[in-house]
């Protein structure tokens, strides 16, 4: 049941990401448009979400899936709520602070250590910043501290 629910959340979030990525304006100075990276990530979310949905469906058919309420339902629900909170915080806290808090919290929530969370957050945040701000020259939300 947890796989199916997580798969559903990821698939829906991926579809929204793909839709929003297609709406990003292009930059005539570069061949790659800024929406390419989120489009790719959205497509990956849809792909892996559908795999999880399929696995969860198969487990339900075999009767192997049982719901262990807080863990099986809590994690996908918290992930979805964290994504909504992240999106809501972007205009106020800016890209760097919002992404830092979001990634660090998600890694810890999914049983990562503080060191893993710090390394993952630093790596992903740096990569995203360089890609969007420097390579694509996309203005990132600056928030109150910008």
Summarize pLDDT for 84-99 with one digit per residue, the tens. Answer: 898 889 889 999 999 9
Q: Are residues 60 and 122 in the same domain?
A: no
Say yes or no: 58 and 107 in one domain: no
48: containing domain: 1-65
Q: Say whether both 36 and 53 belong to one domain.
A: yes
CA–CA dist 58, 112 (Å, integer): 28
Do the Cβ atoms of 3 and 52 come closer than 8 Å?
yes
One domain, residues 57 and 86:
no
Residue 21 — very low, low, confident or very high, per pLDDT cuts 50/70/90? confident
Per residue in 94-126, pLDDT (tens digit) is 999 999 999 999 889 888 899 999 999 999 999
Task: Please report, for residues 14, 56, 87, 146, the alpha-carbon distance to residue 22 in angstroms, rounded to integers and kept in the order given.
Answer: 12, 30, 17, 27
Q: What is the number of structural domains in the chain?
A: 2
Which residues have a Cβ under 8 Å from the Cβ of 117 and sit 6 or more positions away?
Answer: 103, 104, 107, 108
Q: Which of 47, 65, 83 is the last residue of a domain?
A: 65
> How many Å apart are CA 36 and CA 26, to the nearest integer?
10
Q: Looking at the structure, do residues 59 and 79 belong to the same domain, yes or no? A: no
């Amino acid at each position: 049941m947890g796989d199916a629910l997580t798969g559903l959340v990821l698939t829906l979030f991926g579809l929204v990401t793909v839709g929003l990525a297609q709406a990003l304006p292009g930059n005539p100075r570069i061949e790659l448009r800024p929406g390419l990276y989120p489009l790719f990530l959205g497509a990956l979310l849809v792909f892996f979400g559908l795999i999880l949905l399929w696995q969860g469906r198969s487990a339900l058919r075999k009767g192997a899936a049982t719901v262990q309420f807080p863990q099986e339902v809590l994690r996908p629900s918290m992930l979805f709520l964290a994504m909504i909170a992240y999106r809501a915080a972007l205009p106020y806290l800016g890209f760097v602070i919002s992404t830092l808090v979001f990634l660090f919290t998600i890694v810890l929530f999914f049983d990562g250590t503080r060191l893993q969370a710090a390394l993952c957050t630093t790596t992903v945040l740096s990569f995203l910043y360089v890609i969007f701000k420097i390579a694509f020259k996309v203005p990132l939300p600056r928030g109150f501290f910008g």
